[in-house]
């Protein structure tokens, strides 16, 4: 209940629009979840740690986050939605925390399924993270999951996809190749995006950077 109140408080300044909150509470919540996951991992792998730990303070993060996800996605009122958006984006880029990464991916995917008005904003932020964050694996996985969502409104992806395609050669070669595969389905459904992709790749063939030319080929 304390967590839900905290997230609702983070969201309280947002009325009817999506704005990523910069509350100081969010990094604290992220660290609490991360430390809890690390604690569980130690207890699973160390018999000694399990035998001497008498705190019994481990929280079932999976159940807690799933409960928040289900209850919030079902609400048309944005009581805690903006706070959960902020928490999700923080958890998405958390290093060495697959459980927390998975919650973020599932939550954002579920939001797009049930609240499609947030699709464009969610994609915009995730694509920005792709270029800014070092821990790219969960971000790529998140984009892949969202773009395979059968509820996805392709029209809502156009602006974000154009930005991604135009800047694709700015990514490292491994990330760029992964993203080419991820966005293939969306590109195949849009004549405009397909034409843009061809133009960007044709231009990349003449760049000095060997890796960029390989990507284009």
pLDDT at 14: 42
Residue with tokens 């048309």: 76
> Over 60: is that where the pLDDT of 17 sits?
no
Q: What is the pLDDT of residues 100-144, one digit of tens each?
A: 899 899 889 988 888 888 899 899 999 999 999 999 999 999 999
> Over 50: is that where the pLDDT of 47 sits?
yes
Q: Taking residues 24-46, report their average pLDDT.
A: 76
Q: Tokens at residue 202, please?
A: 């044709």
pLDDT at 154: 86
Q: What is the DSSP letter of 215?
A: H
Q: Taking residues 20-27, report their average pLDDT.
A: 65
Average pLDDT, the chain: 81
Q: Report which of 142, 69, 141 is spatially closest to residue 107, judged by C-alpha positions.
A: 69
List C-alpha distances in Å: 199 to 69, 174, 179, 193: 40, 21, 17, 10
Distance CA 162, CA 167 (A): 9
The torsion angles phi and psi of 120, rounded to 5 degrees, stand at: -60, -45
Is this prediction's pTM over 0.85?
Answer: no
pLDDT at 9: 57
Q: Tokens at residue 111, please?
A: 């939001």
Q: What is the pLDDT of residues 49-96, one digit of tens each?
A: 667 666 655 666 667 767 776 766 665 556 667 777 888 898 999 988
Highest mean pLDDT (candidates 5-9, 101-105, 200-204)? 200-204
Q: Tokens at residue 78, please?
A: 């944005």
Region label for 17, one of left (φ > 0), alpha (ψ between -120 and 50) or beta (otherwise): beta
Distance CA 214, CA 212 (A): 5
Highest mean pLDDT (candidates 10-19, 86-95, 105-114, 176-185)? 176-185
Q: Tokens at residue 11, please?
A: 């969201």
Q: Which of 163-167, 192-196, 213-217 has the lowest mean pLDDT?
A: 213-217
pLDDT at 87: 83
């Amino acid at each position: 209940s304390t967590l839900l109140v905290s997230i609702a408080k983070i969201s309280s300044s947002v009325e009817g629009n999506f704005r990523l909150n910069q509350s100081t509470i969010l990094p604290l919540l992220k660290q609490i979840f991360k430390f809890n996951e690390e604690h569980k991992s130690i207890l699973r792998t160390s018999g000694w740690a399990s035998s001497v730990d008498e705190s019994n303070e481990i929280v079932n993060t999976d159940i807690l986050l799933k409960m928040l996800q289900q209850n919030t996605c079902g609400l048309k009122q944005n009581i805690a939605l903006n706070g959960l958006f902020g928490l999700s984006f923080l958890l998405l880029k958390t290093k060495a925390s697959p459980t927390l990464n998975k919650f973020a991916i599932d939550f954002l995917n579920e939001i797009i399924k049930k609240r499609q008005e947030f699709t464009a904003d969610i994609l915009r932020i995730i694509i920005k993270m792709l270029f800014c964050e070092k821990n790219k694996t969960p971000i790529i996985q998140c984009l892949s999951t969202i773009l395979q969502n059968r509820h996805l409104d392709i029209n809502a992806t156009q602006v974000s996809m154009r930005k991604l395609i135009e800047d694709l050669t700015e990514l490292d070669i491994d990330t760029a190749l992964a993203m080419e595969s991820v966005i293939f389905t969306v590109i195949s459904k849009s004549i405009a995006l397909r034409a843009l992709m061809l133009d960007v790749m044709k231009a990349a063939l003449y760049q000095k950077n060997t890796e960029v030319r390989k990507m284009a080929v």
